[in-house]
């Protein structure tokens, strides 16, 4: 059945705003917004639960534009629906500091739920949203009180489905039965290089049915079909749904629709004139009828929906005051009032107890202590829980218990990390995920995206160096620490014992606007003596662990497992009359944020004899020691052998540190 003219006109408003903005910017992607306009009109006007006046309303539906290059689609939708996105904002598309950057960016534009652009990650974020909604609902909803009750919708294209991450996360979504997750696939058969039949011939329907999804096929330009399919998707509560929408890219453009020419470049002034004629659109660029705005305006409907929820929440609060208070605390991202005092008590306890322990085990001990204080911790590992030591007492997998607190991600490092970003974005949880440090590489772009979005995600990476041992160089990280440390807004911790491990966990939990990478050893590490001031200074990222016994001549900087080597070298050097101090630097990024006086107190500028020691790539440490000092580390790949033999083989030894200091003083 052909789409009624009024609905087509409303969809055409998206088309003209999109190609006008792209043309004005002389940059962008008009094809996807034009091709998906009819789908967007149906979803946003008939189904999406949201309030433009309060974009952060907790029980709103989440919408993700995974094919983020089509950003003018969502900017047009936000503008038309009544969000604080003006015509001038649309005219500023892709310009410096505008609300409408080239790809949707969290924090720039009200109504944007996640940053998208790297294809496939948006759908992974959407899976994270859906997991968070389902788990939070199971934890807090009670009979007659469905306080957490919303859907997650995502738009995606051919490119998203070609990316490997789509398999990882969609497979898991099917296994978990995420019935409130609905994807609209823009099946237009075109990517940047042209007709995808040359490189993408998957049977997408069979693929998703094999994952355990409901799959529905529609004409993506027929509003009746799209409407019925969306209703069918919402009615299916046991499976996620994929609606395959057969569309024409650049729909409405007489000479460029259906062609790659409309994908990633402006239509051009001449083609825009022809397109306006084809759409029977007589208005000047960026001008719309009042009736179009009235038909699109979602503020009144959203206000009613939110007020109805507010009333429901008041009833819930009366029936379950404790649960209501706890839910709001978690949704607002607040830590319990007594968390800080209890956390500091635990850190002090680890110092007093002492004992040599692998830092991965110290990490597990920290989780066991902190998780009861923080029910919002939602852990997970990429099939390595027994090695990463991420399971805690009382861990319940969400695949069996919807109200659980642990996710068995399977071997899906990239998908796991991008899902965790979505969980954090949703609110109500602090997610942590885990794998071997080496396999951070699979997840690298999702780690970066979490840092870009300033999300509180905790990355647990164990088996942190050649200390991994017999598994060999394929599993032994060398350059990964440097990669993580040079990632803006990410805090990378490499603790040396149980006390530093506990501190790292506490600081990661408190870092509301920073993801953290916690790097832990396979092998046992010696406990270090500290006074109260030293314990307190751990959270400054670097601190004086061992003070010089005579006039200061040299400084040893170390992290993690190599702090033990540094301390052994310190004892030898001090006994020989060398004035040397040891600085433990578990988090260099935090250390450099300290005031100049503190940094000078720890690393006096006049002491140029410096040695850094870490079983990782040497290059990172020259910023702290200077080119005229030395770094004991590794700049090649490892070998397969017991850890103790490998440290000797690569010259990361106490004697090497002693010799390096002696050569400088």
CA distance 357 to 363: 10
Residue 432 pairs in a beta bridge with 458
Catalytic residue, candidates 163, 168, 225, 413: 413
**Structure-token match 């008041």, residue found:** 314
Q: Are 586 and 538 in contact (CB under 8 A)?
A: yes
**Strands 491-493, 458-462: parallel, antiparallel or unpaired by DSSP?**
unpaired
Q: Are 505 and 370 in contact (CB under 8 A)?
A: yes
**Phi then psi for 476, rounded to 5 degrees?**
-100, 115
CA distance 309 to 476: 51
Q: For the residues of 184-247, what is the DSSP string, one character each?
A: EEEE--EETTEEGGGT----HHHHHHHHT-EEEEEETT-HHHHHHHHHHHHH--SS-EEEEEE-
Q: Quickly list H helices, 223-358.
A: 223-235, 269-278, 290-296, 299-319, 321-331, 339-353
CA atoms within 13 A on the CB side of 496: 30
CA distance 68 to 247: 17
Distance from the first to the final alpha carbon of the chain: 86
**Strands 430-436, 406-408: parallel, antiparallel or unpaired by DSSP?**
unpaired
CA distance 420 to 379: 9
Structure tokens at 525: 């590490």
Exposed / middle / buried, residue 596 (Cβ in 10 Å: 0-12, 13-18, 19+): exposed
Active site residue 413: yes
Write out 87-145 in H/E/C secondary structure: HHHHHCCCCCCCCCCCCCCCCCCCCCCCCCCCCCHHHHHHHHHHHHHHHHHHHHCECCE
Q: Are 524 and 357 in contact (CB under 8 A)?
A: yes
**Phi then psi for 633, rounded to 5 degrees?**
-170, -145
Q: Are 538 and 503 in contact (CB under 8 A)?
A: yes
CA distance 492 to 592: 13
Q: Are 190 and 152 in contact (CB under 8 A)?
A: no
Q: Write out the H or E segment, with its range, that includes residue 417.
A: helix 413-426
Q: Are 206 and 212 in contact (CB under 8 A)?
A: no
Q: Is 194 left (phi over 0), alpha (psi -120 to 50) or beta?
A: left
Residue 630 pairs in a beta bridge with 611
**Residues assigned a catalytic role:** 413
């Amino acid at each position: 059945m052909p789409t009624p003219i009024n609905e087509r006109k409303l969809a055409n408003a998206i088309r003209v705003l999109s190609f006008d903005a792209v043309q004005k910017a002389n940059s962008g992607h008009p094809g996807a917004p034009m091709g998906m306009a009819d789908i967007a009109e149906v979803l946003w006007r008939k189904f999406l639960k949201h309030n433009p006046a309060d974009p952060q309303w907790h029980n709103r539906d989440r919408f993700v534009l995974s094919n983020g290059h089509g950003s003018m689609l969502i900017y047009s939708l936000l503008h038309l629906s009544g969000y604080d996105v003006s015509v001038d904002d649309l005219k500023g598309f892709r310009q410096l500091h505008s609300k409408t950057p080239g790809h949707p960016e969290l924090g720039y534009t009200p109504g944007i739920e996640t940053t998208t652009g790297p294809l496939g990650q948006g759908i992974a974020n959407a899976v994270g949203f859906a997991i968070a909604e389902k788990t939070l609902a199971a934890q807090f909803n009670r009979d007659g009180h469905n306080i957490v009750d919303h859907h997650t919708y995502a738009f995606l294209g051919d490119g998203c489905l070609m990316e490997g991450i789509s398999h990882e996360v969609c497979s898991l979504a099917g296994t978990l039965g995420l019935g409130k997750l609905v994807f609209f696939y823009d099946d237009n058969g075109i990517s940047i290089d042209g007709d995808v039949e040359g490189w993408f011939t998957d049977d997408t329907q069979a693929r998703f049915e094999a994952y355990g999804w409901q799959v529905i096929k529609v004409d993506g330009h027929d509003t009746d079909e799209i409407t019925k399919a969306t209703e069918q998707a919402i009615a299916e509560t046991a499976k996620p749904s994929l609606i395959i929408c057969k569309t024409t890219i650049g729909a409405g453009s007489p000479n460029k629709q259906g062609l790659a020419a409309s994908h990633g470049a402006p239509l051009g002034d001449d083609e825009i004139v022809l397109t306006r004629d084809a759409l029977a659109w007589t208005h000047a660029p960026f001008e719309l009828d009042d009736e179009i705005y009235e038909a699109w305006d979602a503020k009144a409907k959203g206000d009613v929906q939110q007020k109805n929820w507010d009333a429901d929440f008041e009833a819930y609060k009366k029936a379950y005051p404790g649960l209501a208070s706890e839910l709001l605390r978690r949704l607002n991202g607040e830590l319990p009032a007594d968390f800080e005092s209890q956390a500091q008590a635990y850190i002090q306890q680890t110092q007093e107890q002492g004992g040599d322990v692998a830092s991965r085990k110290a990490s597990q001990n920290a989780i066991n202590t902190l998780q009861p204080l923080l029910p919002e911790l939602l852990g997970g590992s990429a099939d390595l829980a027994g090695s990463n030591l991420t399971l805690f007492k009382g861990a319940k997998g969400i695949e069996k218990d919807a109200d659980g607190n642990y996710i068995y991600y399977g071997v899906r490092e990239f998908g796991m990390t991008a899902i965790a970003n979505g969980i954090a974005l949703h609110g109500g949880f602090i997610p942590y995920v885990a794998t071997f440090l080496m396999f951070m590489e699979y997840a690298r772009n999702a780690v970066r995206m979490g840092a870009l979005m300033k999300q509180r995600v905790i990355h647990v990476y164990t088996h942190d160096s050649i200390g991994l041992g017999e598994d060999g160089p394929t599993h032994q990280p060398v350059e990964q620490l440097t990669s993580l440390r040079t990632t803006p807004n990410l805090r990378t911790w490499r603790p040396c014992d149980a006390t530093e491990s506990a501190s790292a966990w506490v600081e990661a939990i408190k870092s509301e606007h920073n993801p953290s990478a916690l790097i832990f050893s396979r092998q046992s590490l010696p406990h270090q003596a500290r006074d109260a001031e030293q314990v307190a200074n751990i959270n400054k990222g670097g601190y004086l662990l061992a003070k010089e016994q005579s006039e200061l001549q040299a400084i040893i900087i170390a992290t993690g497992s190599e702090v033990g080597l540094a301390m052994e070298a310190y004892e030898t050097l001090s006994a020989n009359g060398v004035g040397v101090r040891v600085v433990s630097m578990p988090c260099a990024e935090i250390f450099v944020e300290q005031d100049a006086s503190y940094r000078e107190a720890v690393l006096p500028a006049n002491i140029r004899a410096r040695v850094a020691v870490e079983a990782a790539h040497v290059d990172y440490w020259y910023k702290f020691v200077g080119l005229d000092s030395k770094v004991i580390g590794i700049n090649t790949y490892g070998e397969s052998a017991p850890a103790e033999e490998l440290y000797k083989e690569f010259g990361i030894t106490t004697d090497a540190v002693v010799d390096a200091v002696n050569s400088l003083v």
